[in-house]
Structures are given as structure tokens and as C-alpha cells.
Amino acid sequence: AQSVTQPDIHITVSEGASLELRCNYSYGATPYLFWYVQSPGQGLQLLLKYFSGDTLVQGIKGFEAEFKRSQSSFNLRKPSVHWSDAAEYFCAVVPSGGYNKLIFGAGTRLAVHP
Amino acid sequence: DVKVTQSSRYLVKRTGEKVFLECVQDMDHENMFWYRQDPGLGLRLIYFSYDVKMKEKGDIPEGYSVSREKKERFSLILESASTNQTSMYLCASSFGPSYEQYFGPGTRLTVT
């Protein structure tokens, strides 16, 4: 079945530490890929997106993500986490030919320790 | 900046009531979406609309209907609310061929 998997439900890191959030998808063709962030009580904000081209994409707030076709992955990274990064992060895909319906993963909740 | 607003942040309704959730966007976007968000399930698409008076079912349309009479406004209707519709509801919009969706702040609905 077509799906988006975020294997980590909760992650806790110390402020200043590096971060990697995992995302895997199972679609036949390369979909369009997104990472969104949801701060407490807020809607979702787009961090970055991948459609084609360079497989390392830069986003807002110092985030980047790397698309790896061989692993069907689109992991989100940040070299040094700030306390304000505590939020829930969602990976999403638009399947090839999927009009523009986003399919979301279950989300990863990030906690940041001082 | 694109702005997507939702009529209520919090709503409490009784079982069997008819519930209207309103969403308005100010960027002349063609596409509008309604999602529900539940812990451990992420966001699931209820309905979407790609033009005025046009609508398409998403992944979980049962128990819901929608209305889009004007381009900027997209309403989600719960004809007879049930407790299993207690959830966070998020509205989003996007421009024509763009896949980037802009989200409202959400409405947390409790059905008792």
C-alpha cells in the first residue's frame, strides 16, 4: 500500500545538538516531497520541498533535507537545534499523478532539552 | 503573506448537532482542502475543492460534506455530529498548479 512512514514518534535532543528526522515513502515513482512543522496550537508551516534536481534541499529556519531515491527516503536535518525548534514535524508527499493531494506521515514530536 | 483563517479555534458541540466549520483564504487560491488531525495518524484528507462549486472526496469523507459557493470560502459540514468526530480540523489552500499548501490555525472540535 502507498504510505509515508515516520519511524520516530518522539525524539528528544539537547539544545545545540544535531538533529535528523526520518521519512520513508512507498510509491512507485518519485513523488513530490515536503516537510512541514507545527508549533503548539498552530497550523502547519512549510519548511522545505523537493520536486526534482539537486537532492539536497535547503529550507527555512536552518533546516535541510536529502532525497535518496535508492532508500525512498527524505530525511530532515539541522546541524544545531534551538529550543524554539520544539514542535511536531510532518513529512508529506504528493504521489506522481496525484493531483495535489498531500499524503502525510504520522508526525514526529521533537522535544529540546536546555 | 497568504492568510488562511478558520472561524473558531475551539468548538464544543453535542451529539447529533449540525456543525459548520468555516475557512477563508485571502490569496485567490483555486484549491482548498479540509483535513482532520488525530494523534498518531497525522493529517487525513476529508474533502478538497479545485474550483467554486467543485468538490472531491478525500480519504475519509464519511459523515462530512462541504460547500464552496465563493472562491475564498470553503465550509466543512458535519450533518449529525458524533463523538468519533472529536478532532482537530485543519483547512488549507493552494494556488492552481502549485503543490505548496498554506494552512489555517485549526479548529479543535469536541463532540460530547
Tell me the average pLDDT across B81-94: 96
Residue B101 burial (CB < 10 Å; 0-12/13-18/19+)?
A: buried
pLDDT per residue as tens digits for the range B45-72: 999 999 998 999 999 999 999 999 999 9
Q: Are strands B87-94 and B102-103 parallel, antiparallel or unpaired?
A: antiparallel
Residues 40 to 99 of B: which have CB under 8 A from any A CB? Answer: 40-45, 48, 50, 58, 90, 92, 94, 97-99
Q: Testing the interface with B: which of A90, A101, A108 to mutate, by most B Cβ within 10 A?
A: A101
In chain B, the percentage of residues whose pLDDT exceeds 70 is 96
Render B30-69 in DSSP notation, one character per residue.
Answer: SEEEEEEEETTTEEEEEEEESSTT--EE-S--TT-EEEEE
Name the residue facing A43 among B42, B58, B90 (closest C-beta): B90
Residue found by looking up cell 474533502 in the block: B47
Does the pLDDT at position A36 exceed 80? Answer: yes
Residues B68-95 as b/e (b if ≥16 CB within 10 A, e otherwise) read beeebebbbebeebeeebbbbbbbbbbb
Residue B41 CA to residue A107 CA, distance in Å, equals 8
Yes or no, beta carbons of A49 and B101 under 8 Å apart: no
The count of C-alpha atoms lying within 13 angstroms of the C-alpha of B20, restricted to the half-sphere facing its C-beta, is 8
Choice between B99 and A105, residue whose per-residue pLDDT is larger: A105
Yes or no, beta carbons of A102 and B41 under 8 Å apart: no
Does the pLDDT at position A100 exceed 90? Answer: no
| Predicted pLDDT of residue B104 | 95
Q: How many CB pairs under 8 A join A and B?
A: 56
Nearest residue of chain B to residue A32 (CA atoms): B99
Question: Chain B partners of A97 at a C-beta cutoff of 8 Å?
Answer: none
Residue found by looking up cell 468519533 in the block: B84
Report residue B100's pLDDT band, with 50, 70 and 90 as the boundaries: confident
Which of the residue ranges A94-98, B11-15, B73-77 would you say has the lowest mean pLDDT? Answer: A94-98
Yes or no, beta carbons of A102 and B99 under 8 Å apart: yes
Does the pLDDT at position B106 exceed 90? Answer: yes
Nearest residue of chain A to residue B90 (CA atoms): A43
Nearest to residue A91, comparing CAs of A40, A42, A28, A26?
A26
Residues A57 and A49: beta-carbon distance below 8 Å: yes
Render A20-40 in DSSP notation, one character per residue.
Answer: EE--EEE-SS--EEEEEEE-T
Report the amino acid identity of residue A93.
V
